[in-house]
Structure 1
Amino acid sequence: MPDAFPNLTSPVAAELTWLDDPSIAPQLVTLTAGALRLVIAPGIGGALAAFYESTPDGPMHWLRPASSAAFSERDPLRMASFPLFPYCNRIRDARFAFDGATVDLSGNDLRFAHALHGNAWRRPWQAAALTPSSVDLHFEHEPDSQIPGDWPFRYRARQRIELSGEALRITLSAQNLGERPMPFGMGHHPYYPRTPQTRVYAEVQAMWHADADVLPTHLGPHPAVDALREGLSPDAFELDNNFANWARGATIAWPDEHRQLTMTAEAPFDHMVIFAPADDAQLCVEPVTNTTDCFNAEGPHEHVGGCVLQPGEEIAATLTWTPKRS
């Protein structure tokens, strides 16, 4: 993961200086609705660069804004959020068995020992159907046998992004364009401002415990499951874990700033990841359709997630982020 970001100790702590950079501005799409603003960088993995409210005192950030390094290094991991296709999180040793063959994804990114987050976040997306408050982003993958570890299935991914005066909505969809079945999962990877007072609320049934490589070992109870019901402090545990069978809703609250952001999801976003490393400013609460290493994992489908798209089959579901100030 990227180096820690400066902690956002107030809602206006991070100014968007890169918005005025003439080398960056042409890469961006900005949506507006009332006081809300959403800045998108289609060419950097179809990522969101900032989601904030314009106030007289400056931007009030609902997601952690992109750093300047995100643009100079073209790194979605330093953006506000980015899409996950055609699977979420890690695949052990970058290999899995499917349809009688071994799918080998090794070599697609030497930074990681295990395949990570699919391939759509590493590629540029195209923008279309732009209005002041909405845009379509799309990406089409054609397998290339000359690229080590390239995803061997052909598919199309889309993000329909809509901003209203009340909420941000992103409909993720994908279609299998190939002539054979394709294993599949999707999600989004949002980073949130993290302060000592930040709390995360969610209803979940159990947590996937993980090994040193952040790969799941077993599903079971954990104090974080109960803490989420009462309001989990990101500083309470060292977390990079999947939570199964959540209620498809989570609230990130900043009580000292009298504000909160509620994320809701449609099926099949039946899994949630919390990334909250100790002594770090990063905080992710991610809606996903599959647990880590789902293509290798053993267990009931409701605990593992993911699916198989048949040739021509399409899947779509919507995520919503609703800010509230009190």
Structure 2
Amino acid sequence: MHDPLPATGRQFEITFDSARAVITEFGAALRVFEVDGVPHTETFDADRLPPSASGSVLVPWPNRVADGHWHLHGESQQLALTEPDKNNAIHGLLRHAPWQVVEHSASALVLQATVAAQPGWPVPLLTSIGYALDEQGLTVTHTVENLGGKPVPFGVGVHPYLRAGEADTDECTLRLAASTVLPVDPERLLPVRPARSLEGDEVDFRSGRKLEGVWLDTAFGGATPAPDDPEELVRHSLTRPDGHGVQLWADPVFKWVQVYTSAEYPDRGGRVIAIEPMTCPPDALNSGTDLLTLQPGEAWTAHWGLKRI
């Protein structure tokens, strides 16, 4: 008889010097990231499903698909409505699936899962996620491979809730490397118009803005590296009043970032903020905006990460 598993399965810890991360078996979610014992992501109990998709891996699409309906090669596809109150399919197909360990060392972990052909998604995919700690912080590596016989579009995202240590979210400053915002229907959070420029907009966070009184469930686009960035990475950050906090960096393929503020996170006083890098916007399976495409047998790789600043 096996010992009972927590709701999120086995817990995989990696460490490097004073940095520590914990990843779940079911969903491959980032449950902990801390440095010197200071948290830089929100955490949750291992025996509780990730609240509000905390730390989740969003494959083969991030965010929402309107009515769960889209077309592939002219054929109608119907996904399960996993956000029934809004009549949407949300956040991909692997949030609660078991992921298999491919590699686990003291400072690195690689997990792998298959997106099986199924109603609404007829082309199988093999995907992996690698978490690695070093002196720079946490690096996350995604791969997606088309196992089927036809080309398939896809997108990738993740759903970390960031923390600037012990500072209250309202005291923190948010900076985003995004130049557009996507107008959405406030009831279903689906796009209603093309993305618009942030020039002069109240939700322009490029120069940083304190979060007190700011509520967001918003997709930002046009995320690009700064012209003088030697690594050519997209960089978003959450910092406390002394200027220290956490930076989320990503390869330029992560052109979008969803930002979500909430006062309903278990065991956390005050508000929390999710900063979610995405390769495409909400409902991209229908709009086609920034969708990636894999030919049969082709694989794709990209990276993002977290570092203390």
TM-score by length of 2: 0.84
Amino acid at match of 1:81: G
Residue pair 1:161, 1:169 contacting (<8 A) in 2 also: yes
Answer yes or no: is 1:283 the counterpart of 2:273.
yes
Q: Which is helix-richer, 1 or 2?
A: 1
Deviations along 1:228-273, whole A, 9 cap, x unmatched?
12312334433211111112211111125x5221111113111111
How far off is 1:87 after superposition? 0.5
Partner of 2:154: 184
1:41 to 7, 11, 24: 24
Residue pair 1:95, 1:106 contacting (<8 A) in 2 also: no
Partner of 1:11: none
Partner of 1:64: 42
For 1:203 and 1:241, locate their aligned partners in 2 and report how far apart those are by CA, in whole Å.
Answer: 14
Distance of aligned partners of 1:130 and 1:61 in 2 relative to their CA distance in 1, 3 Å threshold: same
Corresponding residue SS for 2:67: helix
Partner of 1:7: none
For 1:109 and 1:250, locate their aligned partners in 2 and report how far apart those are by CA, in whole Å.
Answer: 28
Residue pair 1:84, 1:117 contacting (<8 A) in 2 also: yes
Residue pair 2:170, 2:271 contacting (<8 A) in 1 also: no
For 1:270 and 1:167, locate their aligned partners in 2 and report how far apart those are by CA, in whole Å.
Answer: 22
Partner of 1:19: none
Amino acid at match of 1:179: G
Deviations along 1:168-198, whole A, 9 cap, x unmatched?
0001110010011112000111112352211
Residue pair 2:32, 2:43 contacting (<8 A) in 1 also: yes
Corresponding residue SS for 1:121: coil
For 1:230 and 1:292, locate their aligned partners in 2 and report how far apart those are by CA, in whole Å.
Answer: 25
Answer yes or no: is 1:91 the counterpart of 2:68.
no
TM-score by length of 1: 0.80
Deviations along 1:27-81, whole A, 9 cap, x unmatched?
11110101010011122x0111110123xxxx31000112x2xx334x2345651
Partner of 1:161: 131
1:241 to 208, 215, 218: 218
1:319 to 288, 295, 304: 304
For 1:124 and 1:102, locate their aligned partners in 2 and report how far apart those are by CA, in whole Å.
Answer: 28
Between 234-243 and 205-214, the greater mean CA deviation after superposition? 234-243
Partner of 1:29: 12
Partner of 1:251: 237
For 1:172 and 1:62, locate their aligned partners in 2 and report how far apart those are by CA, in whole Å.
Answer: 21
Corresponding residue SS for 1:120: coil
For 2:54 and 2:206, locate their aligned partners in 1 and report how far apart those are by CA, in whole Å.
Answer: 25
Partner of 1:5: none
For 2:129 and 2:263, locate their aligned partners in 1 and report how far apart those are by CA, in whole Å.
Answer: 32
Amino acid at match of 2:29: A
1:272 to 257, 264, 274: 257
How far off is 1:106 after superposition? 3.1
Amino acid at match of 2:196: G
Deviations along 1:194-248, whole A, 9 cap, x unmatched?
522111112322100110211111211452443x123123344332111111122
Which structure 1 residue ranges, 4+ long, deviate > 4 Å from structure 2? 22-26, 107-112, 277-280
For 1:215 and 1:233, locate their aligned partners in 2 and report how far apart those are by CA, in whole Å.
Answer: 26
Partner of 1:220: 196
For 1:241 and 1:62, locate their aligned partners in 2 and report how far apart those are by CA, in whole Å.
Answer: 22
Residue pair 2:82, 2:90 contacting (<8 A) in 1 also: no
Answer yes or no: is 1:53 the counterpart of 2:48.
no
For 2:53 and 2:73, locate their aligned partners in 1 and report how far apart those are by CA, in whole Å.
Answer: 35
For 2:297 and 2:9, locate their aligned partners in 1 and report how far apart those are by CA, in whole Å.
Answer: 35
Corresponding residue SS for 1:72: coil
Partner of 2:95: 121
How far off is 1:281 after superposition? 1.6
For 2:221 and 2:122, locate their aligned partners in 1 and report how far apart those are by CA, in whole Å.
Answer: 28
Partner of 2:173: 199
For 2:291 and 2:212, locate their aligned partners in 1 and report how far apart those are by CA, in whole Å.
Answer: 30
Distance of aligned partners of 1:63 and 1:127 in 2 relative to their CA distance in 1, 3 Å threshold: same
